[in-house]
Structure 1
Amino acid sequence: MQFRRWRRGGGATVRISTDRGPHGRTLLVAATHGRFIGRVGGLAVALGIGAAIAAASPTAAAEDTPSSAASTGTEASGTEASGTEASSSPSSDSESPARQRKPSRSEVETAGEDRDARASERSDGDADDAGADRLRADEGPDDEDPADDERETPEPADEEPATAVAAATAPTATTSTAATPAKPSDPDRSPAAPVSPLATPQQLEAERIATETVGTWPVRLMKQVLSAGWRATAAREYRQISGPDPENLVTLRRAVDEYALAAAFQQLLLNSMTPTVVAQVAPPHTWYRQSVSGSRILYDNPDTVYRFMGVNMTSTYVIRGRFTDAHPADTNFSVLTGLSGITADNLSGRQIDVGPDGSFTITVSGAAAAPGQRNHLQLTPDSTLVAVRNTLSDWNTQSPMTLSIERLTGPRNSLFSQLGGFAIPGLGPLVTRSPLLTSLVSSIPPMKEPPPFLRGVFTAVIMALGLGQESKYIKVATTDAETGERVPPNVLRDPSRNAEFLATQLQSAGYFHLADDQALVVTITPANARYFIVPVTDLWTVTGDYWHQQTSLNNAQAVPDPDGKYTFVISPTDPGVHNWVSTGGLNKGTVSIRFQDLDLASSQTPTLTSAVVAVSDLDSVLPPTTVCVTPAQRAAQLTERATGFARRFGSPV
């Protein structure tokens, strides 16, 4: 029997039998999954023993009061910025779930080991054998012979600078149905002049891995389950408009595909021991020779750039960023719990202390903010993510800020954390609250590089939550939250709060059913809302091609009435008014109007009215000062829109 050696991007060598018989296949499967099965078994035993001991030891739970000296702004500002976990030093303060203390020697050594391992992975990641095919979903790492790994590693090949790649591949704004993964530029070689603050090596790598993950069969199978489940949900929730029409059944596949990619991103984020900043809930885009499908879900806002970072209360973190252009209309840092997205803490852009150069530092830990400290987020035992929203009212002048996260202190990385254990409802908070369980799960090291199949399994589990999530968010539009009664179509109620959305905003959601010659006229009184947007989404609560079509308008893009109100016309066909919100050709869809950056000193709150009007009768109901546009002016409006959108992912088109 003969063996060949193949290499993966993570640097591990996998020995594959060239025997075509059943024994060769058996050896491959054993080499691929044996180590993982052993680690999972060890993790299960450790959790079982720890849970039994913790249940019999009330004193352990009594000390579960986290604190962090690293949460002060002075100490945070003295640490080098990084998009990954940092090593601890003997002079830095450390946090455990039990009490505040200095880092132990083992923690310092572990941080150094993690740093060295990451450096090795970055080096090896650029040294794939040119003649070897990439390993597929049933092939995994083998760490048995490190010496052989080192001997067989070729010299890294020179790669084009990221700026050259960006210049050669301008961003496109066309909707993609499939993504083509490509190896990103060297993670250590950032663009000399970044075209977009979103274009980090970590982002490109996350997009590559997520794209690979959605191609695995567990994800493909779960997509079929979601598609069937969502169709049944829509038939039930939209029965007053006879369920989905053919146009929305066409968009169903895209909506499921984007939900799957969002779940693949979330699977990557849930290892809070190696946090990084990842942009998702994003439209399709092409940059750096990567075509990435969309990951939009649950009433995504066309004006908002969403980024996420994995966190948990056993560790302390520092977030750094800088505003480089005009500040966004609204910025929020939200601590989310579990996998539901409920907000536990929020820090708005108006609350953040920002330096003269636009830079800022935010500490994140289980401790409360120090007296007088503004830039701090407090974690809870069930905290899983920090969601960052940059809402851009002027697409042509405002940009998302630069952003990075660094883990300062906490337990070593583990298989439990790598598999998203801290985000599992019930189990994650249980481990977080118990120093004993945290120590036990930290004793099982992570895999060097999880195989795509394994990532697909955990992504499919996250996707399974989509059956309930989609139903919950559709009901936001179809059901009165107070009475539980069905709301008729084409009716938009006054704004209210919803815990599943941004905690500081108000929303008015509904669904429409319009003929081609009908329009929904919406009149808004902004009151204390400095920002609001009227976006159209399909029946699956996902936006369409809003960069080429005017399927949303915010208060900066719209023209107000003389009395300070705003009048919008939502319709499938263009009525020739400036404040037209296109349905993207849909006759059935949803609307979720958001009101943000509220002036809390004002007692006035936004209100709105809505009415269905024949397009031919619009002149009789619109204000006499309504601004109309010619076809040429509409074309210029759409060109300006596309140009502004392109700035998010690259140079203007």
Structure 2
Amino acid sequence: MAQEQTTDALKQQLRSAFDDMIQSFQEARDAIDNPALYPPPANERNLAEGYRYLLGFMLSGIERTLADPLYPRFRRAIQTTNRATIDNADAVYLMAEIDGNHSYRVRGKAADTRHWRGETPADGITAPQYVIFELSSGYAGDSGKLSEMQPGTRINTSTLDSSELLVADDGSFDILIAPEKPANYSGNFMLSKRTSRDVEHVGRYLTCRELFHDWANQDVMDLEILRIGCENEVKPPLSAREAAEHLREVGRIARNQVHFWNAFNAITLETYGQVPGGISEKMGMDRPFMPVNDMNPPNALGLATGGGQSSNIYAGGTYLLDDNEALIIETKTVIEPAFIGFHLANLWGESLDFESYPSNINGHLMESDPDGYRRWVVCHRDPGIANWVSTTGLPHGYTSMRWTYPTPPPKEHWPTLKVEKVAFEDIRKKLPHARTVSEQERADQRLIRHRHVQRRYRQY
């Protein structure tokens, strides 16, 4: 009888935890259509994509919750089924949860890496254009509140990118992650504990971004991560208490992430207009930080504005176009970056479909003009020229530019940026050197995209 009573009590505890998870999902769902929670303007596409966005955070919540920092593995933090946070359409985002009080070893192998050192690679498959590992003490959005962006709340305890990574001739490498660097150690190393503002921060989330330029020939790396000494310990089975905690945590992550990023987009980024005391006012701007049919000046914002790659210079804005309008985005780089990409996203922050549409064009996929400028044209219809960035028919969305610099250039050498709205019929007048692109070439480009996306996000 006692055993039956214990079992009945466990059943009820787990049912209660499951109900709590569902309640959190309901609260997350409210952010899709409740104006008080800052969703994008309600229309059929925004609502439909909002529910997909919610499912993505539910998936992310499950994967993150079931991860074990003592027995970590790399997984895709962002993929085609859970895009968010105005993600980079040229990137694969990998993450492994760790406990920075312990030591870990990452082992990897990449194809030809000579371009990481400024050399010319051989023909054939090569490593990603650029790779960066970052170890953070926190995960943006988990509190559900914008107050988490206060300086010092979370930090990167360490970063390591492909410009510094020691790689063997066969493309293999390893990285030691530990609270302290061993004496006389000279290999790749990432510190997992660091004190900042008199607060000790412990690394919890190891991320790896692999950025791609040549979608036809650059491929993802092989990676593994093991806690040092894990082979001497047996992982205990799951308990009912832990299962109940997992259920509640899945719901909490989904709820808080959706609430946070809605508020981040509306208040921090000022996507729908200036906010009193907001970032544009602090920067002395007379328009929203994310201006309409324009972009903010190149900036190096990072963890203080919700995260982002530490070696990037960013610029962003929104487009709002009808069928007879287009944007021409123009940039020039005094110092050539390791990576440059221009991307579009919907107002939930999901990158637009980059498999079937050219909704992003990076520095390799585009064609520069004779004067040394790079120019993209954003519009709904195909103008029949190179460097067309498709809105996929979405009238209102985000524009985003990324320039990656392993060594930050002096500010006077930062990229220039100019945005101009033009009539669709005037595109060719504004871009007289733009090459005409045939329908067959567009189809060939789409096939490269389909194949690359399958390779980048393969699960086997």
TM-score w.r.t. the length of structure 1 is 0.57
- CA offsets, 1:192-237, max 9 Å, x none? xxxxxxxxxxxxxxxxxxxxx9xx6544433332232254469858
Pick from 377, 394, 404: which aligns with 2:190? 377
One-letter code of the match for 2:367?
V
Q: Say which SS state the counterpart of residue 390 (structure 1) adopts.
A: strand
CA 1:612–1:601 in 2, change beyond 3 Å: closer, same or farther? closer
Q: Distance in 2 between matches of 1:332 and 1:233?
A: 38
TM-score w.r.t. the length of structure 2 is 0.79
Pick from 389, 394, 400: which aligns with 2:209? 389
| 2:263 is equivalent to residue 471 of structure 1 | yes
Pick from 288, 291, 312: which aligns with 1:486? 288
* Number of the residue aligned with 2:159: 346
| 2:179 is equivalent to residue 366 of structure 1 | yes
Percent of aligned pairs sharing the same letter: 22
5+ long unaligned stretches in structure 2: 112-124, 141-153, 194-200
5+ long unaligned stretches in structure 1: 2-14, 16-23, 38-136, 140-212, 284-293, 419-444
Q: How does 1:636-651 map to 2 (within 5 A)?
A: 636-649=444-457
Q: Say which SS state the counterpart of residue 358 (structure 2) adopts.
A: coil
Q: Say which SS state the counterpart of residue 355 (structure 1) adopts.
A: coil
Instruction: After TM superposition, give the deviation of residue 318 of structure 1 in Å.
Output: 0.8
The higher-RCO structure (CA 8 Å, 6+ apart) is 2
* Number of the residue aligned with 1:224: 26
Instruction: After TM superposition, give the deviation of residue 587 of structure 1 in Å.
Output: 0.1
CA 1:515–1:219 in 2, change beyond 3 Å: closer, same or farther? farther
Q: Say which SS state the counterpart of residue 465 (structure 1) adopts.
A: helix
Q: Say which SS state the counterpart of residue 348 (structure 2) adopts.
A: coil
The answer on whether the counterparts of 2:30 and 2:37 sit within 8 Å (CA) in structure 1 is: no
One-letter code of the match for 1:338?
G
* Number of the residue aligned with 2:437: 629
Pick from 270, 273, 276: which aligns with 2:70? 273
Instruction: After TM superposition, give the deviation of residue 374 of structure 1 in Å.
Output: 5.1
| 2:34 is equivalent to residue 247 of structure 1 | no
Q: How does 1:572-583 map to 2 (within 5 A)?
A: 572-583=380-391
One-letter code of the match for 2:301?
N
CA 1:476–1:229 in 2, change beyond 3 Å: closer, same or farther? same
Q: Distance in 2 between matches of 1:233 and 1:595?
A: 34
Q: Distance in 1 between matches of 2:19 and 2:366?
A: 45
* Number of the residue aligned with 2:130: 330
One-letter code of the match for 1:262?
S
CA 1:615–1:318 in 2, change beyond 3 Å: closer, same or farther? same
- CA offsets, 1:555-614, max 9 Å, x none? 101111112211111112211121111111100111221111455467621121111111
Pick from 491, 498, 502: which aligns with 2:301? 498
Instruction: After TM superposition, give the deviation of residue 367 of structure 1 in Å.
Output: 1.1
Q: Distance in 2 between matches of 1:458 and 1:541?
A: 23
CA 1:591–1:473 in 2, change beyond 3 Å: closer, same or farther? same
The answer on whether the counterparts of 1:310 and 1:384 sit within 8 Å (CA) in structure 2 is: yes
* Number of the residue aligned with 1:259: 57
| 2:221 is equivalent to residue 401 of structure 1 | yes
Instruction: After TM superposition, give the deviation of residue 263 of structure 1 in Å.
Output: 2.0
* Number of the residue aligned with 1:425: none
CA 1:259–1:313 in 2, change beyond 3 Å: closer, same or farther? same
Aligned length: 406
One-letter code of the match for 1:252?
G
One-letter code of the match for 1:301?
N
Instruction: After TM superposition, give the deviation of residue 405 of structure 1 in Å.
Output: 0.8
Q: Distance in 1 between matches of 2:354 and 2:314?
A: 20
- Structure whose residues are more often strand by fraction: 2
Q: Distance in 2 between matches of 1:627 and 1:233?
A: 45
One-letter code of the match for 2:363?
N
* Number of the residue aligned with 1:92: none
The answer on whether the counterparts of 1:522 and 1:608 sit within 8 Å (CA) in structure 2 is: yes
Q: Distance in 2 between matches of 1:605 and 1:371?
A: 38
The answer on whether the counterparts of 2:31 and 2:262 sit within 8 Å (CA) in structure 1 is: no
Instruction: After TM superposition, give the deviation of residue 451 of structure 1 in Å.
Output: 7.3
The answer on whether the counterparts of 2:38 and 2:263 sit within 8 Å (CA) in structure 1 is: no
Q: Distance in 2 between matches of 1:220 and 1:594?
A: 37
Instruction: After TM superposition, give the deviation of residue 371 of structure 1 in Å.
Output: 5.9
| 2:248 is equivalent to residue 457 of structure 1 | yes
- CA offsets, 1:412-447, max 9 Å, x none? 989xxx9xxxxxxxxxxxxxxxxxxxxxxxxxx773
